[in-house]
Structure 1
């Protein structure tokens, strides 16, 4: 079947815009090493404070997209990278209770970590630190011991100690890529035209698709990798990557039409979509794939031009490489928007919970925040003569806010301080207006960027989340 050939463009896009690249990969490795050093120094601090031993992990392993070589550049240029690290302790050198083991690591990181947007948090499966630079690190805690049969065991600190090898997912994925990707057969004289490891490129392309719009809330890399590795989903093609990508998108949509549930590839008893939030992300992936596949139909028309083909793929990747975008005026929303001769300045500060002490000033759109951070907006100054009233208007964007029916809400209680919290993925606006005699005399806008990760609990007493 004819399909317009855009494979050379796809390879260039992969090499220059999708693939992490050596320099950025080295930078993330530096973040990893720095935080492992901070952890060890923090454990030493706890040892001095308590006069009790706080041993270091004896080993660490890379996990996730970094280890699987599927970590992409950030499509939104927010430095939003997830670095997964397995910390491995001897069993007798870490608390027996898995929660206390995670809390020890959290406390050690808190001693030495700085410039975070949210304090280190002992979550169900890892300890997470979110940094103002945009990236966050997940430390998964493991322990090892020799059982009564002389066999070395390794367990993960989750809701309980669960037997799990931190390298198992990495090894599984590497085997899938090697097994399923087109490769030469010297006996048959077959030599594919595509580069080695095609399956890994297809995973990366679809991970990019999932993150191509900041307003989208689609599944993360583990679920995408698992789905593509399922039998019959990845469609290898030894001639062209663009055909392999399209065919895989169709097969993936067909698979999700049957069911959107996804299970851990190395432990089928664990459902990766057990939480409603994650299942909804997979449902949205199914629906957005259908739109993308329809957009790509033009590729199968013999009258398809290069311009039409690039425009179709642009809808998939949403990147200026594919279609020259119209230049848009960049507005610095941190500047005051003056109406008439009056002005207004507000500021935003971060806190652990509503009405709690603030720990960091957040400039408009300056970095991407996790969910579950309390936000305190304050009128700093205005030259509008009193008396006047204050109106706060929230405009949210994205799948999550739309489904929660929280795209817009406002408060006109004249308070010069307004508390809310980060709750929905996307770029969002807080507008503050000063009104007098029924007219808006001054107005300013503050942008808040929110990533998909985090925890929405315990951040605000209001049910109305913010971006």
Structure 2
């Protein structure tokens, strides 16, 4: 072993610049969606007030979360969330947190009539969801003043709780500046890792940001800064899996059992996947070894394209060995009861609870068995101990049950020998 890590910094920075950082045009698109929906809310409140003889008025709004901290990363499924604090005067809101969120949802529904899903009041926000994956979370705040004239803010969650809508953003931006921008860089890269397998159930952006800020280990190179910070987060979680609000150290950010499990999942994944980077410290580590290791870690085609013989290339070569035999897989989704549509007509991931019919279409007739293998991936199927199964038939039907990207493999046999195979990937949300 050598004490230095293989220097892949030029390619690592290219990966970061081209595949991690959100483009300026996409950032503009997100801001425009935010502005449009603020105007919808204002207009909807006018109608709501006229119908209900009320005078509710939006006093201010502030961008929050990953958009305010500039840590949103690229996402092939356009699953971008935009967090916006909407602020009202305390004495100009309905009585009760539930009534307040219902009023906001009602106002938005009046101006979001073409949406596939109506604006919905959730525990901590009112959500506006676009069909193409974007969603805007309106966090509702009420503003008042104490006896000294200082502004007080309360967030509308399961109850009204004291919270400043800008305090987290200010904490993050100040810490990032003190660390020469490294905190933001590593948070973005950690987010890419956490979303690298769709079946993973991982902590949200704030928890990731807190862990990175706490464990940041700046080096001269971006790849080293990321690697050594991940080591520190792994070891930190080995000792303590609790995560507290950085601006209120007596308040945990883990609100329920699911939050605690997500942090455990992050620790497990870091232990497993950091070990796959050990090759970077071998004295005879080659460029190909390094790119393969980062491909294994991030599960991103950028690294796969740099590897001379990637797993994808091996699959293609294996398929060619079958010669002229091939099979097409016709995949249909029961979108409505009794109504099947081709999977390529479904925009985005398939919801749970749907039936999918797979039909094999070999390019030859002399076959005597068609075998199907389901391969499930993700935390939900692991919890249910259901990683897959086999079935037979020219056509089979499966149900969508677990979040993640799963694989359906079709193998065609002739005289007991596999003569061709193919597969389709199914993404379930």
1:127 shift after superposition: 1.2
The aligned residue for residue 425 of structure 1 is 403
Give the Cα–Cα distance (whole angstroms) in 1 for the partners of residues 197 and 154 of structure 2: 37
Give the Cα–Cα distance (whole angstroms) in 1 for the partners of residues 288 and 405 of structure 2: 30
1:375 shift after superposition: 5.0
The aligned residue for residue 275 of structure 1 is 256
The aligned residue for residue 323 of structure 1 is 304
The aligned residue for residue 222 of structure 1 is 206
Unaligned stretches of 5+ residues in structure 1: 182-195, 330-335, 339-343, 351-357, 380-392, 411-416, 432-444, 452-467
The aligned residue for residue 325 of structure 2 is none
1:129 shift after superposition: 2.4
User: Which of 209, 214, 217 is 1:235 aligned to?
Assistant: 217
- Does the C-alpha gap of structure 1 residues 30 and 362 become closer, same or farther in structure 2, counting only changes over 3 Å? farther
Give the Cα–Cα distance (whole angstroms) in 2 for the partners of residues 394 and 175 of structure 1: 48
Give the Cα–Cα distance (whole angstroms) in 1 for the partners of residues 51 and 265 of structure 2: 49
User: Which of 400, 413, 433 is 2:380 aligned to?
Assistant: 400
For the pair 1:10 / 2:12, whether they are aligned, the reply is yes
Give the Cα–Cα distance (whole angstroms) in 1 for the partners of residues 195 and 101 of structure 2: 30
1:408 shift after superposition: 6.0
- Does the C-alpha gap of structure 1 residues 27 and 123 become closer, same or farther in structure 2, counting only changes over 3 Å? same
- Does the C-alpha gap of structure 1 residues 88 and 423 become closer, same or farther in structure 2, counting only changes over 3 Å? farther
- Does the C-alpha gap of structure 1 residues 93 and 363 become closer, same or farther in structure 2, counting only changes over 3 Å? farther
For the pair 1:294 / 2:275, whether they are aligned, the reply is yes
Give the Cα–Cα distance (whole angstroms) in 2 for the partners of residues 44 and 395 of structure 1: 52
Q: Which has the higher helix share?
A: 2
Residue-by-residue CA offset, 1:165-200 (whole Å, 9 max, x unaligned): 100000000111122x2xxxxxxxxxxxxxx41221
Pairs within 5 Å for 1:365-444: 365-368=346-349, 397-405=377-385, 424-427=402-405
The aligned residue for residue 107 of structure 1 is 106
1:264 shift after superposition: 1.5
Kindly indicate whether the alpha-carbon contact (under 8 Å) linking 2:109 and 2:119 is maintained by their aligned counterparts in 1.
yes
Give the TM-score, by structure 2 length.
Answer: 0.78
Give the Cα–Cα distance (whole angstroms) in 2 for the partners of residues 207 and 162 of structure 1: 28
- Does the C-alpha gap of structure 1 residues 402 and 365 become closer, same or farther in structure 2, counting only changes over 3 Å? farther
Kindly indicate whether the alpha-carbon contact (under 8 Å) linking 2:378 and 2:404 is maintained by their aligned counterparts in 1.
yes
1:292 shift after superposition: 1.8
The aligned residue for residue 80 of structure 2 is 81
Kindly indicate whether the alpha-carbon contact (under 8 Å) linking 1:364 and 1:446 is maintained by their aligned counterparts in 2.
no
Give the Cα–Cα distance (whole angstroms) in 2 for the partners of residues 38 and 374 of structure 1: 31
User: Which of 256, 261, 271 is 2:237 aligned to?
Assistant: 256
Give the Cα–Cα distance (whole angstroms) in 1 for the partners of residues 183 and 154 of structure 2: 30
Pairs within 5 Å for 1:110-149: 110-114=109-113, 116-149=115-148
User: Which of 42, 45, 55 is 2:44 aligned to?
Assistant: 42
Give the Cα–Cα distance (whole angstroms) in 2 for the partners of residues 37 and 31 of structure 1: 10
- Does the C-alpha gap of structure 1 residues 289 and 114 become closer, same or farther in structure 2, counting only changes over 3 Å? farther
The aligned residue for residue 184 of structure 1 is none
Kindly indicate whether the alpha-carbon contact (under 8 Å) linking 1:365 and 1:449 is maintained by their aligned counterparts in 2.
no
1:121 shift after superposition: 2.2
Specify the SS of the correspondent of 2:206: helix
1:423 shift after superposition: 6.7
User: Which of 170, 175, 197 is 2:181 aligned to?
Assistant: 197
Give the Cα–Cα distance (whole angstroms) in 1 for the partners of residues 274 and 111 of structure 2: 48
What is the Cα-based RMSD across aligned positions, in Å? 3.3
1:425 shift after superposition: 2.6
The aligned residue for residue 64 of structure 1 is 65
- Give the count of matched residue pairs: 375
1:10 shift after superposition: 1.2
- Does the C-alpha gap of structure 1 residues 9 and 149 become closer, same or farther in structure 2, counting only changes over 3 Å? same
- Does the C-alpha gap of structure 1 residues 449 and 45 become closer, same or farther in structure 2, counting only changes over 3 Å? farther
1:41 shift after superposition: 2.1
Give the TM-score, by structure 1 length.
Answer: 0.72
The aligned residue for residue 265 of structure 1 is 246
1:103 shift after superposition: 1.3
Kindly indicate whether the alpha-carbon contact (under 8 Å) linking 2:120 and 2:128 is maintained by their aligned counterparts in 1.
yes
